[in-house]
Amino acid sequence: MIGEYFRPSAAIMNSLPGRPALDLPRITLAVLFILGIIAAAGWILRPFLPALIWATMVVVATWPLMLRVQARAWNRRWLAVTVMTVLLLLVFLVPLGFAIDALVSNADEMAGWAQGLATIELPRPPEWLAQIPVVGERAVAMWQDIADSGPRELARRIAPYAKDVAQWLAIEAGGIGLMAAQFLLTVVISALLYAQGETAADTLLCFARRLAGNHGEEAVELAGQAIRGVALGVVVTALIQSLIAGAGLGVAGVPLAVVLTAIMFVLAVAQIGAAPVLFLAAGWLYWRDDTGWAIALVIWALVVGSMDNFLRPFLIRLGADLPLPLIFAGVIGGLLGFGLVGIFVGPIVLAVTYTLAHAWMHAPDREACRQSTTTPDTGHTRSPEPGPLAPTARNDAASE
């Protein structure tokens, strides 16, 4: 206690002979210079950051696969890198080719739909629509009003929204070229990372170790596990769901099944699921009086929608030992905050935060433990008082 009151101040310590004085302006300017260099480097690399992030996610998620390919390719790294690069190109080119083929093969049918919009007539509302609670009667009245107004009135109502949709499509079409360039850049960076993956990983681990010691290295390793967990649990589940749902669309005779499958894959990655597209397709079949196929597609949508309840947790557990709510919150929050790449960035940020917080809370702090278990008057140890999160006696007995 006496040492606490008579501890020398920092000014006295700096004035002692043999101890160098603290040059605060120099330290401040050095820190500002380092921050400026980091900001300038980030600004220069800004056009490449999306491709670099995507390439890092792809390489980390598929690194075990690359090692298997290398083992089968007579342990030749360049041959394994070539195979993985070709596979990445096929991931983009094959769906694009199927989508273009589907659009070309259904061009006449789409033109017939466009011409038929001028003469379309809505049938009478179905009886089950009026039985829906709260909104049933209002939906029937709206349906009947649109049916009585005729095609011209319907076109007049849709025209303002059609203009906005056309503008949005024009903007998105202009970004297709940029997206293709970003994808090719991602493939190039991925090939470089495949070739020099060990060096890049060692550099990152060395930086994390210098920054936070062993905890920094553990955080980097857990970030890699989070990437693989998301790739297995989210992307693979979305791929399986979209393929099974697309097969159902093809069997039911829904046109543009390949394009709809790609849309369902994006929706499944975004945690929305493939069910909305299947329900819309079932409604279209019901509209065409294919009631049997419509009912079958609704049942198929329920089956496909329930697959992620058991498939996604199983796959995530294979990739990372992380709490499932942490992964789901990271995927949804990252998607809303950073776009599509956020499905990987979000879980990584939460996983690293979770790891550092867990390590900090469970770090050995002997002084704090001694002060919390020692009475200030007598110095004898005392047992800590149970808090709201402390286990009860019944839980202790059960654990024993």
CA atoms of 244 and 268, how far apart (whole Å): 12
For residue 26, what are its two tokens?
A: 């120099």
- The answer, as to whether pTM is greater than 0.75, is no
For residue 82, what are its two tokens?
A: 């070539």
**pLDDT of the residue at 397:** 42
Say if 321 falls within a structural domain. Answer: yes
**pLDDT of the residue at 61:** 85
Residues composing the chain: 400
Domain total of the chain: 1
Say if 46 falls within a structural domain. Answer: no
381 forms beta bridges with 374
Closest CA to 262 of 246, 244, 275, 240: 246
For residue 257, what are its two tokens?
A: 């099944």
**pLDDT of the residue at 162:** 63
Q: Which amino acid is at 295?
A: I
Closest CA to 344 of 334, 354, 355: 334
Distances (CA, A) of 88 to 54, 83, 182: 12, 9, 13
Say if 249 falls within a structural domain. Answer: yes
Which DSSP string corresponds to 321-356? ---HHHHHHHHHHHHHHH-TTHHHHHHHHHHHHHHH
Say if 394 falls within a structural domain. Answer: no
374 forms beta bridges with 381
Q: What is the DSSP letter of 255?
A: S
Say if 67 falls within a structural domain. Answer: no
105 close to 97: Cβ distance less than 8 angstroms: no
φ and ψ at residue 391, rounded to 5 degrees: -70, 145
Q: Which amino acid is at 393?
A: A
Give the CA diameter of the chain. Answer: 97
Per run of 10 residues, the mean pLDDT along the chain (length 400 residues) is: 46 52 83 92 89 88 90 92 91 70 66 61 71 78 73 65 64 65 88 90 88 80 81 83 90 84 82 86 84 89 85 74 76 80 80 76 55 46 40 41
Q: Which amino acid is at 186?
A: T
Sequence-ordered list of residues with C-beta below 8 angstroms from that of 125, at least 6 positions apart, any chain: 139, 140, 143, 144, 147
**pLDDT of the residue at 6:** 43
CA atoms of 4 and 371, how far apart (whole Å): 15
**Token pair 């649109």 is at which residue?**
146
CA atoms of 161 and 70, how far apart (whole Å): 53
Closest CA to 260 of 245, 272, 271, 238: 245
**pLDDT of the residue at 89:** 87
Closest CA to 122 of 148, 147, 145: 147
Q: What is the DSSP letter of 272?
A: S
286 close to 275: Cβ distance less than 8 angstroms: no
CA atoms of 261 and 99, how far apart (whole Å): 10
φ and ψ at residue 4, rounded to 5 degrees: -65, -35
User: Cα–chain-centroid distance for residue 19?
Assistant: 52
Query: Angle at Cα 29 formed by Cα 28 and Cα 31, nearest 5°?
Result: 65
CA atoms of 252 and 262, how far apart (whole Å): 17
Q: Tell me the residue range of the domain where 284 lies.
A: 210-363
